[in-house]
Amino acid sequence: MAMRAIFYVAIVLVLTGTAPSESNMEGAALYALRRAVKDPGNVLQSWDPTLVNPCTWFHVTCDADNRVTRLDLGNAKLSGHLVPDLGKLEKLQYLELYMNNLAGRIPEELDGLKSLVSLDLFSNNLTGPIPPSLSKLSKLKFLRLNNNRLTGRIPRELTKLENLKILNVSNNNLCGTIPASGSLSKFSEGSFADNPRLEGPELIGFVRYDTDRE
Ligand SMILES: *[C@@H]1O[C@H](CO)[C@@H](O)[C@H](O)[C@H]1NC(C)=O
Ligand SMILES: *[C@@H]1O[C@H](CO)[C@@H](O)[C@H](O)[C@H]1NC(C)=O
């Protein structure tokens, strides 16, 4: 009896096409962000989850297939925190959330942003580590995390980001040495400034004896 009921429900779903489309899922991912932030300037007012896709929402840009390619919410007075759901936006190229007051961690799930070119989270109140998983964002050109309260080491995995053109992690509370190989070797001190506990570039080709332990 129950089996038969499930069968009929399945048929109805197929016939009416109510299985969620990809753009609906992207709308849901963005709506999860809306729920996680305070928005005193009402910049997210147009974010209506009942629409077929988020492509008419303000500050959201889509491609011809109605997949989200840009989120432009810099300087929008948002507080609250980031959500792992954002990692579902596979076609997102620009994640612009700089100059807000977002707190909490950078979700490691952002490694799902396979198309991402620019990750701009600078000038917020973010804590916790830089997720090593960000090294999976192989198209990334701009990584600006400066002016937050990030801690921990700079993940060596980031040396794999071959397309990185701009890196800024200055004015955080990072520690350890700066990995000096791969894509990170081309950035100068200005990318890492104002991290009082950061020790500078690692020494390559020397055996390093740590005399004082942390
Ligand atoms: C940053 O977050 C901390 C709590 O983690 C809070 O005390 C502080 O006021 C926040 N900073 C700003 C500028 O809002
Ligand atoms: C990094 O950001 C700081 C502000 O936090 C800025 O002063 C500096 O010029 C930037 N450096 C680079 C290399 O982008």
Residue ranges covered by each domain of the chain: 18-128
Give the number of other CB atoms < 10 A from CB of residue 8: 9
pLDDT recorded at residue 214: 42
Give the list of residues 6+ apart from residue 62 with CB closer than 8 angstroms, or none: 23, 53, 54, 55, 68, 69
**pLDDT tens string for the chain (214 positions)?**
455 655 554 444 444 444 557 769 999 999 999 999 999 999 999 999 999 999 999 999 999 999 999 999 999 999 999 999 999 999 999 999 999 999 999 999 999 999 999 999 999 999 999 999 999 999 999 999 999 999 999 999 999 999 999 999 999 999 999 998 899 999 999 999 999 999 988 876 554 555 444 4
**Ligand 2 midpoint to CA 133 (Å):** 23
Q: Measured between alpha carbons, how far is 39 from 102 in angstroms, rounded to an integer? A: 11
pLDDT recorded at residue 200: 81
Give the list of residues 6+ apart from residue 198 with CB closer than 8 angstroms, or none: 154, 174, 175, 176, 177, 178, 192
**Ligand 1 midpoint to CA 104 (Å):** 10
Which pTM does this prediction carry?
0.86
Q: Measured between alpha carbons, how far is 94 from 197 in angstroms, rounded to an integer? A: 31
Is the Cβ–Cβ distance between 112 and 135 less than 8 Å? no
Q: Measured between alpha carbons, how far is 84 from 73 in angstroms, rounded to an integer? A: 17
**Ligand 1 midpoint to CA 136 (Å):** 30
Closest by CA to 158, choosing from 149, 166, 147, 146, is: 166
Instruction: Tell me the ligand closest to 149's alpha carbon.
Output: 1
Closest by CA to 140, choosing from 159, 111, 119, 155, is: 119
CATH code of the domain occupying 18-128: 3.80.10.10
Give the number of other CB atoms < 10 A from CB of residue 5: 9
Closest by CA to 190, choosing from 169, 204, 175, 174, is: 169
Atom of ligand 1 nearest to the CA of 127: 5
Atom of ligand 1 nearest to the CA of 101: 14
- In the structure, which protein residues have their CB atom closer than 6 angstroms to any atom of ligand 1? 101, 103, 125
